[in-house]
Structure 1
Amino acid sequence: MRYSVGIDIGATKILAGLVREDGTVVHRVRRTTPFDSRDGVVETTCEMVREVVLFGQTQDCCPAGIGVGTAGQVNFAEGIVVSGTPNIRDWTGVKLGELLSASANLPVWVDNDVNAHLLAEVSIGVAAGRQNVLMLALGTGVGGAACNESGIVRGTWGGACEFGHISVDFQGPACNCGSRGCLELYASGTGIARMMRQRLGIDATDDSRWIDAPSVFEAARAGDASARAVIADMIGALSTACISLIHTFNPQMIVLGGGVMEQGPWLFESLRKRIGQQGMPSLVGATEVVCAKFGADAGLIGAALQPFVYQCGWMRSEGHDD
């Protein structure tokens, strides 16, 4: 059995682990993301990699390489974070692959975190055996990814599949990307909380009444009319985006992941019904809409699979030879 080091860099936490090629996490390390400094993030990540590699050596499990999934837009071929997340200061232009490779003396692959999650699903998850697959990850924001017969779809330099910034209402609220009515404003955790606060007339700067997505779902299940209206809007926006993606890509499957989707089968059934009613029958009828297999460890596992996929030829992809 072969092993690699997986790293999942997010706005609030960094996960690193020793992972087997079947996706089993043998050992894991977790640190709070030092979001106020790019150097702090890099140094923390390097320290975590050293810790994981050392553990592997004590178990005679030498990693084949390092795979990283990070928030932000990534130039996969060069291992550079081209455009970072605003939740990590100065996380733009970071030559992450080069820095980690020099520190650990191992080959390194760096990709966007949702690309890494999709890689896990198409390699050993719910989409195994499929070639044309889309993914939406609904968490604090909404991330997207796609793969086809050639591998992960990245566009010219890695900025493809920003599905969270598909507009579902061109007259909707302004988004921080510069557009209006983006899916992220309705279907992310922060978007659901925003809509609930708006319905209750709570000012965005008022921290005295805490509202988050789980509390909105809980209130909806309890019969609260405002919460139910918010969830209905969320399902409407998400189904509209999914239909547009199906009409554009004609995928075999759409995989939905992230914390927002962990509310039970009812949410998926409502979404599937809406898609089936409003989409072009020839296209939506042929597309499966499923829940992701991997939960909290999705980014870690997907990142760790990169050395096996790209170095050993599990899947063709741009940027590295099989």
Structure 2
Amino acid sequence: MRDVELVAVTKRYGSALAVDGIDLAIPEGSYTCLLGPSGCGKTSTLRMIAGHEMVSEGEILLAGRNVTTLPPAQRGTAMMFQSYALFPHLSARDNVAFGLRMRGVAKAERLRRADEFLDLVHLGPLADRLPAQLSGGQQQRVALARALITEPRVLLLDEPLSALDPFLRAKMREELKRLQRELGISFIHVTHSQEEAMALADLAVVMDHGRIVQAAPPRQIFERPASAFVARFIGGHNVLARGAQAISIRTDRCRLDDGAEGPRHHGHVRAVEYLGAAMRIVVVAEDGTEAEAMLPDSTPPIALGEAATLTWNAADEHALAA
């Protein structure tokens, strides 16, 4: 079963083409991340699924039903915005209950259900607090509970973690994945963070200039990027020329020359970064081509400007599409 299907979906803003005839099938009960650089079309795609932007061409189907022209409230989706958009004068409980209030659900019932969903996101004891009395992470959980209380078939998340500090971002990733698995509904999550997509997604959809350039499980994208753009955007890869062909090689598969057989990249050390469990070095060849390696933290110190050669096993090279 497919929860969401996009068929030749295009979005134009005047003469500007934001989304260019994309096709995408999102399996039922999956966690999908749309990712790519700013302006790639990922947020426009999410907003068209939600019904907050009209489709210029193509169709959107939810659970096999054509919803292309339906308003947001009739689609069976809920959206969690980047800004959280909480009402500052309402308590956490009343913020969560607001959607049910708009549907005419009786006060006692909507407040009871609001408390259930606050418990689901571990905020039950803070139900009476105003948004200003909550941390950023707690506000995000309120916004998440408010979106989930309407029992959508698909939850849409627009860069929900971007405002959080790195530690809290990692904790909230765990929470989002837990909730998606427990509830069994599809989450579609827009992000520009490769790490976020790798941690969360069952299906990662990489976009560039309004088109989908690769859609696959994150491990497949990391191990077999479809193009030089994907390899560079996902990170952790060197993209190098091999005659008329481009290849990628993972930075964690590169090592300092140890005399073993294999391809080589000669040059001088341009950067050295100590990252705790690993050390990152960048080696620049005479023609300006850069390659980097993630080395064990036990690697002896390397000086900037020092001559260095990186090597790897030829079997670890991955050929890239033109």
TM-score (norm 2): 0.27
Select the structure with the greater relative contact order (CA < 8 A; seq sep ≥ 6).
1
Higher-Rg member (1/2): 2
Q: Which has the higher helix share?
A: 1
Q: Which has the higher strand share?
A: 2
TM-score (norm 1): 0.27
